[in-house]
Amino acid sequence: MDDLNMAMWERATTVIPGGVNSPVRSFASVGGVPYFVQRAKGAYVYDLNGRGYIDYVQSYGASILGHADPRVTRAVSQAAEKGTTYGAPTEGEVLLAEEVVRRVRGVDMVRLVSSGTEATMTALRLARGATGRDKVVKFDGCYHGHSDQLLAAAGSGVAALGLAGSAGVSQGAVADTLVVPYNEVPVLDDETACVIVEPVAANMGLVPPRDGFLEGLRRECDRVGAILIFDEVITGFRVAKGGITDVIIDVTPDLFCFGKVIGGGLPIGAVAGRRDLMEELSPLGSIYQAGTLSGNPIATAAGLVVLNSLDEPSYAMLDGRSKFLAEGLEKVISDAGFSVQVQRYGPLLSLFFSDHAVTNYAEAKKSVAGGAYPYFFHAMLQRGVALAPGPYEVIFPSLAHSWDDIELTVDLASAAAAQAWSSWSSKLVPTSKP
């Protein structure tokens, strides 16, 4: 049979660098040729050969209702009928901003942008402009998009490719970015403009915050007058109705960054926070920020319908399924012989081939260096389960994943783990000999 994925891969690599428009989609860290998605529905994606996979990528968390949810596709087509972009304000932007303000404690105002990267860029500029300071503190293995200043020791695709940052990022651009280990509260000084953190790290695998970590960051920021930014591009509207501050109730950051879920699968991001800070943005304040497609009417329509479809029972349902999945995967993968930790935070989970819990990026890298993930990934893919093609990505069950899908995933994982174990452990023997 002709492999249409392979044929498309050959065409893609001719005209698109690496054949992909975002490096996480590449199979560079697991080997092989990516499946090209022809269409998707609910929990499933279908490749060019017509083969279906239970999809746990779900656009890296952008799709929480599952693919092509009818509520979303209807909102998108109705919005498109009325025009796709105007360059003038719309009711949809106001409705989405109001919904975010209603949901998230500590948010008075929202500025919509077109991606998570733009949200974090804007948050940094705002923090620097508001404090008159330059220094930014980030955590090793946290990913905040691909802007120069935040590409120091980032997670996700940067981590999978083993780059410390990126070529093309000047020393000057990262000179004011300080990178410190996750889960340890750094001592700040009064040159610090802001601390940016993933409140639950989800780009070095899933690494939950230690008790007191986020509280400690809040205290330390308050002590020196620095701004605390929660990058909730993954956690926002995924871990709870109002995001992480619904769960960690004694910490409120000054600024929030949103993306992924908030766009319902369309390009959108948001920076949000306290009124006095947000009003420093142009045109009211002196901190410039802009975007031709910002608050795009199709994206706001999709985002709004997604937020309106997420209530308390949705989160309880996601949580229950991910708990079953996490426990099931941990059992069948360890039964096969691996040391494995399935780390979970509410609906988010990830696999570490490790004999102890992973609490920071150094430990995550050590577990990835064991090299088991690519074997398990391919054994799952062969059986029709699509995990992300990189060991630092999390698993994203959606509301479209039925109990049957989840149970089938665990059953398939059992056979996949056995196959992965036999190939990984036999590969391991020669290299572990002196």
Ligand X SMILES: *Cc1c(COP(=O)(O)O)cnc(C)c1O
* Catalytic center residues: 143, 231, 260
Nearest distance, CB of residue 193 and ligand X, angstroms: 18
C-beta closer to ligand X: residue 40 or 121:
121
C-beta closer to ligand X: residue 233 or 277:
233
User: Which residues of this chain interact with ligand X, rule CB under 6 A?
Assistant: 115-117, 120, 143-145, 198, 203, 231, 233-234, 259, 269
**Exposure string for 376-399, b = 16+ CB within 10 A, e = fewer:** bbbbbbebebbbbbbbbbbbbbbb
Give the Cβ contact number of residue 147 at 10 Å. 16
C-beta closer to ligand X: residue 5 or 59:
59
C-beta closer to ligand X: residue 42 or 236:
236
Which residue's beta carbon is nearest to the bound ligand X? 116
Nearest distance, CB of residue 277 and ligand X, angstroms: 19
Residue 104 to residues 118, 214, 253, 324, Cα–Cα distance (Å): 20, 17, 11, 28
283 preceded by cis ω (within 30°)? Answer: yes
Nearest distance, CB of residue 107 and ligand X, angstroms: 17
Burial of 38 by CB count in 10 Å (0-12 exposed, 13-18 middle, 19+ buried)? Answer: middle
**CA–CA distance, 205 with 360 (Å, rounded to integer):** 10
Contact in structure between 137 and 176 (CB atoms under 8 Å): no
Nearest distance, CB of residue 59 and ligand X, angstroms: 10
C-beta closer to ligand X: residue 117 or 341:
117
DSSP designation for 339 = -
Nearest distance, CB of residue 143 and ligand X, angstroms: 5
Strands 269-273 and 255-258: antiparallel
DSSP designation for 74 = H
C-beta closer to ligand X: residue 269 or 295:
269
Quick one: which of 171, 104, 168, 115 has its CA closest to 143?
Answer: 115
Quick one: which of 364, 375, 370 has its CA closest to 339?
Answer: 370
Give the Cβ contact number of residue 316 at 10 Å. 10
**CA–CA distance, 269 with 258 (Å, rounded to integer):** 5
**CA–CA distance, 355 with 349 (Å, rounded to integer):** 17
Nearest distance, CB of residue 204 and ligand X, angstroms: 11
C-beta closer to ligand X: residue 259 or 391:
259
**Exposure string for 232-270, b = 16+ CB within 10 A, e = fewer:** bbbbbbbbbebbbbeebeebbbbbbbbbbbbbbbbbbbb
DSSP designation for 348 = E
